[in-house]
Amino acid sequence: MNKDNERIVGRRATVVAAVMGVVLMLSSGVGYRLLAQYLSRPTTEKPLPPGTLSRLPLQIGEWHGKDVPLDQAIVKRTRTDDHVSRQYLRDGGRDTVWLFVAYGVRARDLEPHHPEVCYPSAGWTLVDTQDETLKLSSGKDVECRIFRFTKGGLTSQTMTVLSYYIVDGETCPDVSLLRSKAWSGSAGIRYMAQVQVAYSDNGQGQSHSAVESVRTLAADSAPEIQSLLTNATAGVAASGK
């Protein structure tokens, strides 16, 4: 297997690991029990038709995307109502980043994925975490969290993962918005989504480039993702109620 193929296999494996992590449980304790009760509330919301997220543009700014289909067994385990898995490239393919968006109306089924738990369980070591604010061209801000992981072996790898959540159109870097809704006794959520942008540099020491790449794609794609979800959920609500 040549080096290019090794990179493709390695990067694809990281995407699979990330998706499988969606079904991990949240933290334990009183806060978890309250949140679990909140997430278990029945919903009357009608989900988006499958494939809605595939309408996310393949061309986003300088990025050119292509779909990376996931194994159906993995898709089933995510319990998502819809998802999109993409590889985006720029600079003639020299900069390659993965984008995964998971959407659902049954929050108890779409339990948020914690990269700091999921990746170590797949053999990655967490070496750094930082909170970031994405400045969008629209003037809006998106609070997110960036994780850096390493994995040793014959081919050392570094994985940079940017993650944030969308809850009824509002963004947050973690599950704090869900928790606040649970504590306030909010009547429930209409939908939630998680966005993950991942970059693997295969141990080539390009951490600055990796962070810049995930930031750029996340910022470029955020307005498209939010607009798609807002318009699609509004359309479903108008047609079904």
Q: 10 Å Cβ neighbour count for 30?
A: 7
At residue 28, the pLDDT reads 33
Least Cα distance to 140 among 219, 194, 211 occurs for 219
At residue 116, the pLDDT reads 81
The angle, 0 to 180 degrees and rounded to 10, between the axes of the packed helices 176-184 and 30-39 is 80
Alpha-carbon distances, residue 127 vs 52, 66, 104, 173, 216 (angstroms): 36, 30, 31, 18, 22
Task: Give the number of domains in the chain.
Answer: 1
At residue 19, the pLDDT reads 41
Alpha-carbon distances, residue 186 vs 162, 198, 230 (angstroms): 28, 33, 20
Question: How many angstroms separate the CA atoms of 51 and 3, rounded?
Answer: 33
Residues 84 and 54 sit within 8 Å (Cβ to Cβ): yes
Backbone angles phi, psi at 142, to 5 degrees: -125, 115
Which residues form the domain of 67?
A: 3-240
For residue 122 the two structure tokens come to 């797949």
| Vertex 120: Cα angle to 118 and 125 (nearest 5) | 140
- Averaged over successive runs of 10 residues, the pLDDT of the chain (241 residues) comes to 53 47 35 50 62 94 92 71 91 89 67 72 89 89 94 80 90 78 60 90 66 95 93 75 48
pTM reported for the whole predicted model: 0.77
Question: How many angstroms separate the CA atoms of 213 and 55, rounded?
Answer: 23
For residue 55 the two structure tokens come to 């309408």
At residue 134, the pLDDT reads 95
At residue 24, the pLDDT reads 32
Bridge pairing between strands 141-151 and 157-167: antiparallel
At residue 227, the pLDDT reads 92
